Amino acid sequence: MKNDIEQILVSKKEIDIIVKRIADELTVDYADKNPVLIGLLKGCVMFMSDVSKCLDFNLELDYMDVSSYNGVSSTGVVTIDRDLKTDIVGRDIIIMEDIVDTGRTLTKVKELLINRGAKSVKVATLLDKPEGRIVELEAEYVGISVPNHFVVGYGLDYNERYRNLPYIGILKEKIYKK
């Protein structure tokens, strides 16, 4: 699996530092708010799990599964494959995301949560790919900006593979340009 990686972009050590920093920022802003952390499956799992373990205040966890990707390109059509179990009316929401690319997924999900009556909706993302942006969307909590490459690891996949890598790496082009 590691042979398919061109270059390590964010090491495990760097991820640990980012996770701690974002947890500290969320603690300042949400410690007395009992927020709902909503993870967008499946890419969020490592990030959400690691960040939430650093948060020493009351919160709830829930997940949505929305898809917009097929292979290495965004289709632009966002569909909900699994919905929330939590009533979010009047609640402060933090969406936990692996990467913001075009911004379409989050724009759609934010809109949906606000329409359902959330009190506030903010976004925490491990990675930001600003060059990929098609719609205007800024995450309030950003781990690190990355260049416009297809990256995998620490939850991010290529056709369901590489999620279990402990770091973020650039996938060799020959893997997806066959």
Give catalytic residues, as residue numbers: 101
Q: Is the Cβ of residue 6 or residue 31 nearer to ligand IMP in the bound state?
A: 6
Binding site for ligand IMP (CB under 6 A): 40, 43, 68-69, 74, 97-105, 129, 150-152, 156
Burial of 144 from C-beta contacts in 10 A (0-12 / 13-18 / 19+): middle
Burial of 156 from C-beta contacts in 10 A (0-12 / 13-18 / 19+): buried
Q: Is the Cβ of residue 102 or residue 113 nearer to ligand IMP in the bound state?
A: 102
φ and ψ at 45, to 5 degrees? -55, -45
Q: How many CB atoms lie within 10 A of CB 3?
A: 6
Report the nearest approach of ligand IMP to the CB of residue 28 (Å). 25
φ and ψ at 84, to 5 degrees? -70, 155
Tell me the C-alpha distance between 15 and 9, whole Å: 10
H or E segment to which residue 68 belongs: strand 60-70
Report the nearest approach of ligand IMP to the CB of residue 18 (Å). 17
Report the nearest approach of ligand IMP to the CB of residue 90 (Å). 27
Report the nearest approach of ligand IMP to the CB of residue 13 (Å). 21
DSSP class of residue 158 equals B
Q: Is the Cβ of residue 33 or residue 149 nearer to ligand IMP in the bound state?
A: 149
